Amino acid sequence: MIRATARWLGSSAALLFVVTVLTFLLSTLAPGDAAKAILSGQTTSYTPEQYLQLRHALGIDQPLPVQYWHWLDGLLHGSLGTDLFSGQPIAEALNGRLAISLSIIVGTVVVSGIAGVGLGVYSAVRGGLSGRLVDGVSLLGLAAPNFWLALVLVEVFAVQFPIFPATGYVSFADDPGEWLRGLVLPVLTLSAGGTAFIARQTRDAMADVLTRGFVVALRAHGIPLRSIIFKHALRNAAIPVVTLLGLMFVSLLGGTVLVESVFAVPGLGQQAVTASSTHNLPMVEGVAFYFTLVVVVVNLLVDISYRLLNPKVRAA
């Protein structure tokens, strides 16, 4: 257990380092910089001297290794730096947005998991036409682009039938009902493809487990099929599904960028787009750091799930 924990800590630290270094390098390779963005927003013309002075004040005229070391030193002392435009601490600016993005991601994983597992189990047990129906639904869910589905959902459920808001976000603390209504369309948009993936994976895993000897023996002893499915078969089929849910959670970190833009939700994805367009390097680094932390935590939860579902993994 201690050795496994040490490996996890080492791999997590290495992942954080690699991601932040690559983010830093790729961000600095883009044309332009924050000084130009700031001066362009303040005045229509500026002198080269003003530009150089602002670059020096922001610290972006230093060599790249020096800039990264200053950022890393701040991180080791508990600071992600400050926003180059507003002067607000990065952590303070991102904490509220993290909760918004996680609301969409967790909601999508929960909806996709429940719907996908339900469809997959039903298809595996019934077979035949049900299996082909799941394949058809899966192809439909995978083929529908997120941006197109988002626009369709807005047109139907926010314009033609104004049931849910088309844009904006209300925090849970302010109004739980409006918070939930505001999440419905973004979550449905992202859940289509996820439900399709999980349904197919669940169906294949369940179909395999239902042919194993212990299931045949349980059915021969007169155990009800429902009890076999939910007490025995589903647990054995759950590991690949849990893996897919973990991968889906991680992939949604990027998927929220488009959805947050379409629905005008002020999450991390929208902040990443704004920071990248204005060359706000500390903010870009902060978003990348938060995303990587989420990946680390999700990997840990998936590993814990493996150990709970499979005693062999727990003993390893």
The residue ranges of every structural domain in the chain are 2-79, 91-315
CATH second-level architecture of 91-315? Orthogonal Bundle (1.10)
- Alpha carbon of 98 to those of 168, 169, 268, 297: distances in Å? 16, 13, 6, 14
User: DSSP string of 183-228?
Assistant: HHHHHHHHHHHHHHHHHHHHHHHHHHHTTSHHHHHHHHTT--HHHH
Which residues in the chain land under pLDDT 70?
1-2, 4-5, 128, 130-131, 134-135, 310-316
- Predicted pLDDT of residue 180: 92
Q: How many helices (H) and strands (E) does the chain have?
A: 14, 0
Collapse the DSSP code of 89 into the 3-class scheme (helix H, G, I; strand E, B; otherwise coil) and give the result: strand
pLDDT tens digits, 176-211: 999 999 999 999 998 888 888 888 888 888 888 888
User: DSSP string of 132-181?
Assistant: HHHHHHHHHHHHS-HHHHHHHHHIIIIIIS--S-SS----TTT-HHHHHH
Using CA atoms, how far apart are residues 40 and 50, in angstroms rounded to an integer?
12
Do residues 71 and 282 lie in contact, with contact meaning Cβ atoms separated by under 8 Å? yes
- Predicted pLDDT of residue 131: 67
- Predicted pLDDT of residue 125: 81
pTM for this prediction: 0.83
What b/e sequence results for 293-310 when a residue is b if at least 16 CB atoms lie within 10 Å of its CB, and e otherwise?
A: ebbbebbeebeebbeebe
